[in-house]
Structure 1
C-alpha cells in the first residue's frame, strides 16, 4: 500500500470521527477540518497531480462561497459548511457528482431516520429540528474517495 493510499484512509477515518462527534454533540471542531485539509495537501504532494490541484482548489472555493450563502440564510451550520468545503476539496471536480448523489441519498435517509426518532436531534431556536449533517457528509466523502483514489 502506498503512502498516498494511507493518507486517503487516514482522511476517511478522520471524516468518520468528525461525523461521530457531530452526531453526539452537534459540533465539528475546527481542528478536525484543518487536519482534513492538511491531509489533502500531503496527499497532493505525494501524488504530484499539480495540473488538477488548481481546479480542485478553485472548485472547493466556489462551493465554499455557495455554502456560505446557505449558512447566511440559516440553512446549515458553520461546521457543516467547513466540512463540506474540505470534502469538495478532496473530491475535486472529478468525483463531485458521485459525492453529491451519495450525499443527497444519505441526507434523505438520515432526515427520515430523524423524523422517525431513530437518530438524535435537537430543537433549534426557530422550532425546527437540528439534525447533524456530518454523518451524511462523511459517508458520501468516503464513497467518493474510494471511487477517486482507491479504485
Structure 2
C-alpha cells in the first residue's frame, strides 16, 4: 500500500538526484554529504515501504555491495568518478533489484550517448584538456523515470 511518506521520500530522492545532476554538470563533483544523506535515509525508505529485514534489507545491502565492487572497477580504470560510483551504490539501497537493473541499463545507454555527444563537442571546439563526463547526469536521468513509474504514475487513471 502506498503511503504519503513514500511519495515524500521518493520526491526527496528525485530532488537529490536533480541536485547531483546540477553539481556534476557545474563542477564535475557529486558531493559526499549528498550521497551520505541518500544512504542514511534508505532505512526510513525501507520502513515506509515495509521491506522486511530478512531477506529484503539483506538483498538491498547485497545489491549495493555488488554495485560498489563493480563500479569501483570502472573508477579504477578511469571510466567513472568516485561520486558517480557512490551515487549508483546508494541508489541500490533504495531501488528494488529489478528496478535497479532497469536503471543500470538506461544509465549505460544514456551514459554512452552523453559520452559520444561530449566527445563530438570536445573535438569540435578543439579542447585540449582531458574529457570529463558528468556521469551523474546519466545516473539521474535513468533513475528518475524508474522512480516516477513505480511511485507516481500508478495514480494516473
Whether TM-score is above 0.5 comes out as yes
State the partner residue of 1:30: 32
Are 2:8 and 1:6 aligned?
Answer: yes
Structure 1 pair 57–122 and aligned structure 2 pair: CA distance change class (3 A):
farther
Query: Mapping of 1:55-74 within 5 angstroms?
Result: 55-74=59-78
In 1: Cα distance, 2:129 partner to 2:11 partner: 34
> Residues 45 and 94 of structure 2 are in contact (CA less than 8 Å); yes or no, is this contact kept in structure 1?
no
Counterpart of 2:87? Answer: 83
The alignment partner of 1:130 has SS state of coil
| Equivalences for residues 85-124 of structure 1 within 5 A | 85-117=89-121, 123-124=129-130
> Which segments of 5 or more consecutive residues in structure 2 lack a partner in the other structure?
none
Q: Deviations over 1:26-55 (max 9, x none)?
A: 111100001111232211122221142210
Structure-1 residue corresponding to 2:133: 131
- Quote the residue 1:43 is aligned against: 45
Q: Residue 103 of structure 2 contacts residue 143 of structure 2 at CA under 8 Å; is this kept in 1?
A: yes
Offset of 1:113 from its aligned partner?
Answer: 2.3
Equivalent residues of 1:44, 1:53 under 8 A apart: yes
Which has more helix, going by share of residues? Answer: 2
User: Greater CA radius of gyration, 1 or 2?
Assistant: 2
TM-score in terms of structure 1 length: 0.85
Number of residue pairs matched by the alignment: 145
TM-fit CA distance, 1:69: 1.9
Q: What is the CA RMSD across the aligned residues, in angstroms? A: 2.0
